[in-house]
Structure 1
Amino acid sequence: MIEPDLSLQKPLEDYVEYIEKMNIRSLPLLETMSEPLFSFQDPYHTVNGMGAAQKILARRLEIYPFGRYRVHDFAWGRRSATAYIYWSFFYKVEKRKFLGKKESETYDFSGVSEVVFAPDGKILSHVEFWGGHDAFDVKTYQKPLEK
């Protein structure tokens, strides 16, 4: 049996809490939890560096300003300092109905993130695996980031 490094348990729990409370204003807090060369990957982006990662997350939260994560579970992997977080992202999409009236519908998709920690508890990388996002505005989300 592989024993997780329990000194990393608190950084993992802090990150899980951060994910669940994430919003545009909280994005700068990611810098306090991560290494400067933090890498981020999702099905549409792969970036290195805190600024680029924050831009991707900001775009997601700008497209869906009321989008929120709910973490269902998390666990340590077999590789040292690697954790997995199972989550859902809930968001609303406004649709025009009769006479220009708008109605919003709530959607969600689930995913798993692989998070690798440095020995000091800082996050080295965050890789998201997700799909099944029918109403997610992929065209807007996957546009190249401005430099």
Structure 2
Amino acid sequence: MNAFTYAAFFEEIDKNTSIEVYRKIFDKNVQFKDPFHDIIGVDKLYKIFEDMYIKLDNPSFKVTEIVEQNNIAYLKWNFHFSFKGSNKDESFVGVSRVEFNKEGKVISHIDYWDSASNLYEKIPILSFFMKFIKSKINS
């Protein structure tokens, strides 16, 4: 597998993608890290995505840039979704650093994105506090 194949996987996954598909893509001891998770194991990774499809409506990724060298790739992506019960479409940009093993499976996937402005500020109760904190920092 290479970064382009991996990007296609992320653009095509949905709530019906089985654990068996994840096991073909990811090493059994894959490390996954983002602002909310730091786990090891393909089964735990699958659970994160399973939960995402329960908590959000229509989550999807669109990869817009790929940089690959040897067994390391960086993917810039847009994540589109809406919160359950909301008709408002949301999106934000992130970057993933992905490492492949010699067999072509993903052994590390680390996401970089701003959870404060991309999520916390969009949740009504938290948005007030986040904007207040930002105003104090910026003054």
TM bucket (normalised to shorter chain) is 0.7 to 0.9
Structure with greater helix percent: 2
Deviation of 1:34 after TM superposition, in Å, equals 1.4
User: Which stretches in structure 1 are left out of the alignment for 5+ residues?
Assistant: 1-9, 96-102, 140-147
Q: Tell me, yes or no, if the aligned pair for 1:74 and 1:83 is still in contact at 8 Å.
A: yes
Aligned to 1:54, the other structure's residue is in SS state helix
1:144 alignment partner in structure 2: none
| RMSD of aligned residue pairs (Cα, Å) | 2.1
Q: Tell me, yes or no, if the aligned pair for 2:56 and 2:84 is still in contact at 8 Å.
A: no
Percent of paired sites with the same residue = 21
Q: Tell me, yes or no, if the aligned pair for 2:3 and 2:68 is still in contact at 8 Å.
A: no
User: Which stretches in structure 2 are left out of the alignment for 5+ residues?
Assistant: 127-139
Q: Deviations over 1:1-47 (max 9, x none)?
A: xxxxxxxxx53222100101121211521210111111111111100
State the TM-score, normalizing by the size of structure 2: 0.77
Question: Separation in 2 of the partners of 1:16 and 1:27?
Answer: 17
State the TM-score, normalizing by the size of structure 1: 0.74
1:76 aligns with 2:81: no
Q: Deviations over 1:120-147 (max 9, x none)?
A: 211101100111313369x9xxxxxxxx
Aligned to 2:73, the other structure's residue is in SS state strand
4+ residue runs over 2 A deviation? 134-137
Q: Tell me, yes or no, if the aligned pair for 1:94 and 1:105 is still in contact at 8 Å.
A: no
Q: Tell me, yes or no, if the aligned pair for 1:27 and 1:58 is still in contact at 8 Å.
A: no
1:113 alignment partner in structure 2: 96
State which of 7, 32, 42 in structure 2 corresponds to 1:16. 7
State which of 29, 54, 64 in structure 1 corresponds to 2:46. 54
Number of positions where the alignment pairs a residue of Structure 1 with one of Structure 2: 120
1:87 aligns with 2:80: no
Aligned to 1:120, the other structure's residue is in SS state coil
